Structure 1
């Protein structure tokens, strides 16, 4: 059974600026480019293409921002989600430096888009990485030095254990690294605002339009129930929801469940006690915790990636004990929203970006592995460069990193990964 086509019953949906209803595709149309997927990747690729003068049709099976783009923790954090130094054997030292800078510059790109187009999405700057162990805190010193070597211009500061109450009202951490060049925002309002921008540039967006078949050739035909699109180029921006639409990419991204709860609005005193500087925060555990305050002073607490394919029957009952381990002072605070979603995980935790070898007019980007808010925007620009100019140095660098396939086939890949993550979690618990 196909999931509901409406947005998840989240805090984000309840506080969305404008949930514009768009029609389903009902005719046979043509365009320079057809984009499949109405999340950050698809919408921003459409923006970048339209800004370069190309005609674009975007197809979304459900609603704009229905997937991870409209459900995530809203943490706009530098990085690509992996220690990319290990990829030097594929991309060279200059390629590694490019990837490291991309993890930084992608955050700036999101900030620029918000400022330039006045997108109302509660953007706040400031983030703190949280150390769960003294060894992790010691490693932050090297991370800070490496950022300086990369030319990072934003303020960073180490926070020792004794000073952690200045950052977070919890006693469970061994220190932190504050980064004022990262931050947090309302992700659904961001992607909704970006969709409005895309339409203002001439992009035609159709919701409730599931793609049934791709017919490859010099022009790609995208067949849907109510019509079709013929285009010179196709962009697959489905991420965790690609499923079997393109078999050449199936098995390379695993949909993993992540969950968030939102409290009732907190008093100003309580909010200041929990997160005095209104930072986004994230720890270093295998099943990490991430949290922040909303614009109306709710605590949004998320984490607990599930690789089994099964979601908790009661997300609040599952997540609230995790929240109380960090903030026991919230024991009598009501949970007013609970929701989950799927993020696209790759085997090497690095996004897969490129074009199909068999069909070079088909481009794709997927598998952001938890860093989708910033990296989607960067990859969208690379895809647009590759389509418009026929070449993109950045796209070439990303695509040189191997796209690994999860072992075990469709039936076993989730259980095998769940077992692997359990092993890492046991190692973590044993120190």
Structure 2
């Protein structure tokens, strides 16, 4: 932004300098006219000032006529740029298309470039210098800002809706049946059965009081009066513990066989029984439609998003470090593999040619229409800001060159 303000200021300073030189030549011309008889050199000064005024005025008129009407007078062929704004826009667009955006030009220019190697060397360089830290910090901040810009609730709802739609289309029962069949065939279900038996034993142990109370309540008054209900409760609990221990220790226990038969039947029904499959699908859909699942998912998503943002902003590692290391590895491969460079360059060239072929006309139309939409003052100010300083040098040079020509003519006139 500072550079944008600097150029108009420098152009304005040069304009004042050129105008000051012109005013100085006019003053010198008037002053020397009063002392022509004092010394022959005064004539040379007057000739210099006179010709410098002519040259300076001529170049002032030429420079001014490019951008506006000199002194506001409707002189023909002045204010050239504002009057021909549309033609300039079309010329710029045609120049851009003819010299940059034709497929042949793009292909020729791209063929002279090893874009893949240049990109590879740049990506590989961060590992050796401070660029890596800047790239890592920039990548981390970009990822964090992107995640922060997302509406958590809206995006979480959209993601949940997408996952729900995918899950609704997938029939879960056959998948569960195949997984269970494969697990039984490979005997990978046995540790699960052992875990279920242990869990049953721990559950009974944790709820012994509740079981005893249930037995006491079911026993009649005589049994309670004789104290047999307590013995009955102990017998029931001891029998359960013994049964679970035997099932856990004996791989050939009949109860294990019953469990295996039950699992095999369940796997078969999941694969082949329409009623079982319908029940599983209904349970799945009920679960997906449950508001509690939606609330749970939003909480999961928000924790995941917050974790990613925190990881992205971790200095010296985390997600930015992973991204940077991946880019560095990619850069090393690009920089050191000519065959990969050839493939990437070919892809880049074809992509650029395709863009030029498909969108070249739209790009140049965009340039032309943009310039056409500018008002004349905007075009004038932008061009004058870009080249105004050099144009003031033309005025200054015209003043000096005109003065030198005037001195030369005066000298020749004095000699001959």
Bigger fraction of residues in helix: 2
The normalised TM-score by structure 1 is: 0.18
Q: Greater RCO between the two (CA within 8 Å, min separation 6)?
A: 2
TM-score with structure 2 setting the length: 0.18
